[in-house]
Amino acid sequence: MAIYLDKLKMPIIIGLIVLIIASLTGYYYYTHNTKTSEIIIFAAGSLKIPLDEIASKYSEKYGVNIYIEASGSVEAIRKVTDLGREADIIAVADYRLIPTFLVPNYTSWYIGFATNQVVLVYTDKSKYHEILENNPSEWYKILMRNDVKWGFSDPNKDPCGYRSVGIIGLASIYYNDTSILENLLLNKTNIAVEKVNDTLNLIVPADLKVSENSNLIIRSKSVDLISLVEAGTIDYAFEYQSVAVQHHLKYIKLPDQINLGNPKYAYFYGKVIVKILVGTDKEKSIAMSPIIYGITVLDNAPHRSEALKFLKFLLGNTGREIFEEKGQPYLDEFIVYGKIPEELRSIAGSES
């Protein structure tokens, strides 16, 4: 009887072994053959919402998994250059960061494709918002009030942060009022200033600090401030207009001469230079200029072919419509640097 049962069990055991081997073989095949059907994107926080929507449409159409990891733009780049992490696409809020940090070791080309401007966001809970709405030019005087809490993102990690610092410098020139710089930056942080001819250099230490009991709040990336504004924890924050639109926040536009959104004032914007990561070998000087978003596919992208197809989709009509709807209109003509891949030339053009 025992021998009979053992004979009966043997086919069952063999069947289980075959099933396990088949399962493992299938898993191996899946994990190794679906790797090309995914894309990894490190992106600026202000690009997350439009990229998510474009990725959703692309995935629905082509069955590709797209992973988007948002952070400050400088931080996104340093994930690759400092931490050695793999990514296919880098998309940043300042196209100049790509040649500054990634060319030529990580990529040989990039495209500047969309624009924006910096605004001051608030809610009906924000102190003195009625004054601001009736007199938008009072914005900096309201921020100077001790009972008003306001913020911007970390200039060492996020372009909106160093642009906010630069805008405060530009405002001191535009309004001819040095107290703006002193009261909003110099007295609240360890940021320093030096004037060279008619250029204002704002020096941001790598170990940026905010003074104790200050009403200034700094967070890693600009979108991190949104929840604080919405909750009434802070009254105002410097944000991209697109972020304000996407999150349905109230905002006032700053003068074109300082909002970094009008190419007509590029020369005036350049009167302020923000030096970030000062005190490290990563120190960079960034002249203020009109906002232009940049994107590239890395040379060693693990899913390079699929990433190029996605980028072509993003730069096409679908991407353009989504970005414009989200408050980040495309440039009339893309800025192209380097010899871009053949797959993109029909839609992006050639080097400017």
Decide if 21 is inside a domain. Answer: no
Percent of the chain exceeding pLDDT 70 equals: 89
228-241 pLDDT per residue, tens? 999 999 999 999 99
Residue ranges of the alpha helices (H) in the chain? 2-33, 48-62, 73-81, 97-101, 129-134, 139-144, 159-174, 178-181, 226-231, 241-246, 266-269, 304-315, 317-325, 342-348
pLDDT bin (cut points 50, 70, 90) of residue 90 is very high
Decide if 6 is inside a domain. Answer: no
Please determine, for residue 20, whether its predicted confidence score (pLDDT) is greater than 80: no
- Exposure of 276 in the CB half-sphere (CA atoms within 13 A): 24
209-218 pLDDT per residue, tens? 999 989 999 9
Determine contact, residues 106/80, Cβ cutoff 8 Å. yes
Looking at 287, 309, 328, which one is the last position of a domain?
287
**Residue 24 backbone phi and psi in degrees, to 5:** -65, -40
Decide if 30 is inside a domain. Answer: no
Provide mean pLDDT across the span 257-271: 96
Domain that holds residue 130: 118-287
User: Which phi-psi region, left, alpha or beta, contains residue 59 (left: φ > 0; alpha: ψ -120 to 50)?
Assistant: alpha
Residue ranges of the alpha helices (H) in 102-223? 129-134, 139-144, 159-174, 178-181
CA 325 to chain CA mean position, Å? 18
Q: Please provide the size of the chain in residues.
A: 352
178 & 267 share domain: yes
3-state SS, residue 117: coil
- Exposure of 134 in the CB half-sphere (CA atoms within 13 A): 4
Looking at 269, 287, 305, which one is the last position of a domain?
287
281 & 157 share domain: yes
Please determine, for residue 27, whether its predicted confidence score (pLDDT) is greater than 90: no
272-310 pLDDT per residue, tens? 999 999 999 999 999 999 999 999 999 999 999 999 999
What is the model's pLDDT at position 351? 73
333 & 267 share domain: no
Decide if 11 is inside a domain. Answer: no
The CATH number for 89's domain is 3.40.190.10
- Number of domains the chain contains: 2
Q: How far apart, in Å, are the Cα atoms of 293 and each of 40, 268, 336, 341? A: 18, 20, 12, 19
The rounded distance, in Å, linking the Cα atoms of 150 and 228 is: 10
140-185 pLDDT per residue, tens? 999 999 999 999 999 999 999 999 999 999 999 999 999 999 999 9
What is the model's pLDDT at position 10? 53
Please determine, for residue 107, whether its predicted confidence score (pLDDT) is greater than 80: yes
Decide if 2 is inside a domain. Answer: no
143 & 94 share domain: no
What is the model's pLDDT at position 223? 85
Determine contact, residues 187/253, Cβ cutoff 8 Å. no
- Nearest to 91, CA basis, from 102, 109, 76: 76
The rounded distance, in Å, linking the Cα atoms of 62 and 308 is: 13
172 & 250 share domain: yes
108 & 246 share domain: no
278 & 147 share domain: yes
156 & 275 share domain: yes
280 & 296 share domain: no
3-state SS, residue 90: strand
Please determine, for residue 1, whether its predicted confidence score (pLDDT) is greater than 70: no
254 & 124 share domain: yes
91 token code pair: 């998309």
Provide mean pLDDT across the span 248-260: 97
43 & 184 share domain: no
Decide if 1 is inside a domain. Answer: no
Looking at 287, 302, 328, which one is the last position of a domain?
287
254 & 339 share domain: no
Decide if 70 is inside a domain. Answer: yes
Decide if 151 is inside a domain. Answer: yes
